[in-house]
Structure 1
């Protein structure tokens, strides 16, 4: 009898809980509302993978183009470790980087990476800036309220 009572209680609990977790239609969902006057995001690249770099650049452009954020978002892109390859003059990203910079994106390279990897700055684009350390930039921006994005 005790076993039957336990099963009955479990079935009753499932019957009561299931409607609470039933999937609702998302047809009317339009996403978050951007009700602030200004948003700040720091994207970072620390990988040499072309697909990763291209995805990051595309993600930044998508954020800038989001109608909810249009004219309200400040973005910085910092590269360190293998991400420095994104800023190589011999690379394939100049057009995309210049387009983002024209839209207000700040482009920065980690000085530690330059020093530790013995990278000649003349091999990098002359339109980028430098920060003392990529990790330091992430820590400072994060503590200043910036959203940190690492696609």
Structure 2
């Protein structure tokens, strides 16, 4: 296994399925280009939380595939509370962070690169 050389946090706040497809393409390119030398965390908040909702996502197969490759998907607990979404509505492949924006800030403070996914 290669040492991690690249760490990337990706922010998703869009419920647009085209944005989700774009995100999946970015993940594919990162893993094909850098393999195990890249560590990726996708932070979904706001409307982007729908990517991680069992009843809403169109990307479950891709999420499972990328999760198996070591990519982390997390949802914002503040968003869940604000939108009255139960954690049981979120796919089991996803984790949780208390504050999505805060998680992004912490990763950047720790030297991670930042990408805003969607439009």
TM-score above 0.5: yes
Query: What is the SS of the residue equivalent to 2:70?
Result: coil
1:144 alignment partner in structure 2: 110
Aligned pair partner of 2:45 in 54, 75, 80 = 80
Query: What is the SS of the residue equivalent to 2:36?
Result: coil
- Which one is further off, 107-116 or 120-129? 120-129
Contact 2:4-2:39 at 8 Å conserved across structures = no
CA distance in 1, matches of 2:54, 2:94: 11
- Return structure 1 stretches of 4+ with deviation > 3 angstroms: none
Unaligned segments of structure 2, at least 5 residues? none
CA distance in 1, matches of 2:78, 2:94: 15
TM-score, reference length from structure 1: 0.72
CA RMSD of aligned residues (A): 1.3
Report which of the two has the higher share of strand.
2
Matched, 1:122 2:93: no
2:64 alignment partner in structure 1: 98
Contact 2:4-2:36 at 8 Å conserved across structures = no
Contact 2:63-2:93 at 8 Å conserved across structures = no
The number of residue pairs the alignment matches comes to 114
Structure with bigger gyration radius: 1
CA distance in 2, matches of 1:37, 1:117: 36
